[in-house]
Structure 1
Amino acid sequence: MASSSTRSSRSSSPRSKSKPSGKPSANVTPWLWMAFALLVVMIDQFFKVVITRSFQYAESRPVTSFFNLVLVYNKGAAFSFLADAGGWQRWFFTVLGVAVGGFIVWLLYRHTGQKMFCLAVSLILGGAVGNVVDRVIHGHVIDFLDFHWRNTHFPAFNVADCAITLGAILLIVDELRRVRRH
């Protein structure tokens, strides 16, 4: 089956190996990417547990002249969007995160041969799930990384947010590389 698209059939993927039954093992790669996403969730949750056990709410500890560790809660989305919306946003962003996660799992099955694409969406999946875990358990997302310049602070964020951002950057790079090849 020939295809001009880089998101081509699994049969051309070097990862498609045959099982003893002769059927391709197409499900191996998605499971590995999902395991990677789970590792992202575990790292994110580990640091959040360490911070919540070591800090009081709103406590800030300088690490460098431009970086602090803090403990703050975000009931909204990125940059505290909708943080003061009255509580409905907790479940809205939880459902949105679950829906995005389901869509990403579907993408992982559809594009098993595309390593950078799968890495990117796995990072996004791990970050989304890490923040969904916070919303379900705590009712808010735990943020603890605070970068600043003089008296101007960038909104605090966490490992899950870093994974989502890195995944988004890799998606852009992957798409630019794909467009260049054609």
Structure 2
Amino acid sequence: MHLKKSLFLVAAVLIVDQISKIYVKTHFHLEESVEVFSWFKIYFIENEGAAWGTKLSDIFPVSERKAKLFLTLFRLLAIAGIGYWLWDLLKKQANRTLVLAVSLIFAGAVGNIIDSVFYGVLFDHSYGQVATFLAEDNYDSLFYGKVVDMLYFPIIDSRWPEWVPWLGGDSFRFFAPVFNIADTAISTGVGILLVFNKKAFSPAGDATAREVQ
């Protein structure tokens, strides 16, 4: 994959990701939802932590704000590392499958770090109101923004049968997580690396890619 194609993919993911987030942020109040299909909803939530809403303060004895700052700084370092890896792969004309996967992971990571770094100073809060872009009364400071999530697929929303041990009668929902376009890009990139691992990291694949290019 050429540099221009990789940059185009990264830019496309970022544009779609940020447009969707800004639209939801400026048209929905927190936890508002719109049903698109019975199995798909636009459901606006904000994530202050890592994957699946995990907070470092729930694991380590630090305040939520220190944990949030540490997580944002760690993400910035991770993005720098992934960006360097992608640049090195492109410079070496590495296997297209590997470049595709790393491009998606990089784009998704950048998409979410934009929220974490800048959204706190670009918007006011969304509690019971629709947020304003470039608001005078922003909801937090630089590096303390919250990641906007909105894609929700409750494909199955039911209850466990009463006869199921321990779980009988409890609610059962599949798929429960709420995520965004950036998360989708990261998951797709990781999925490509897992499923096509041999092809992605095969030296023979690198040679084939050079021949095609």
Alignment TM class, shorter chain as reference:
0.7 to 0.9
Q: Is the 8 A contact 2:79 2:106 kept in 1?
A: yes
Is 1:64 aligned to 2:37, yes or no? Answer: yes
Q: Which residues in structure 2 correspond to 1:67-146 (within 5 Å)?
A: 67-82=40-55, 85=58, 86-112=64-90, 113=93, 114-138=95-119, 139-146=145-152
TM-score (norm 2): 0.65
Structure 2 unpaired stretches of 5+:
59-63, 120-144, 159-172, 205-213
Deviation at 1:146, TM superposition (A): 1.0
Give the counterpart of 1:47 among 5, 13, 20. 20
Deviation at 1:53, TM superposition (A): 1.9
Is 1:159 aligned to 2:132, yes or no? Answer: no
Tell me, in whole angstroms, the C-alpha distance in 2 between the residues paired with 1:104 and 1:180: 19
Which piece of structure 1 moves more, 51-60 or 155-164?
A: 51-60
Which residue identity is paired with 1:140? Answer: K
Q: Is the 8 A contact 2:96 2:200 kept in 1?
A: no
Structure 1 unpaired stretches of 5+:
1-14, 16-28
Deviations 1:109-128 (A, max 9, x none): 32222211111111111111
Which residue identity is paired with 1:133? Answer: I
Deviation at 1:106, TM superposition (A): 1.8
Residue in 1 that maps onto 2:193: 171
Which piece of structure 1 moves more, 112-121 or 83-92?
A: 83-92
Which residue identity is paired with 2:80? Answer: G
Distance 1:117 1:90, change over 3 A: same
Give the counterpart of 1:150 among 130, 146, 157. 157
Which residue identity is paired with 1:172? Answer: L
SS at match of 2:198: helix
Which residue identity is paired with 1:80? Answer: G
Deviations 1:24-70 (A, max 9, x none): xxxxx446424421321111000011111221111011111111101
Runs (4+) of structure 1 exceeding 3 A deviation are 29-32, 178-182
Q: What is the count of residue pairs matched by the alignment? A: 155
Tell me, in whole angstroms, the C-alpha distance in 2 between the residues paired with 1:83 and 1:130: 21
Distance 1:65 1:129, change over 3 A: same
Deviation at 1:177, TM superposition (A): 2.6
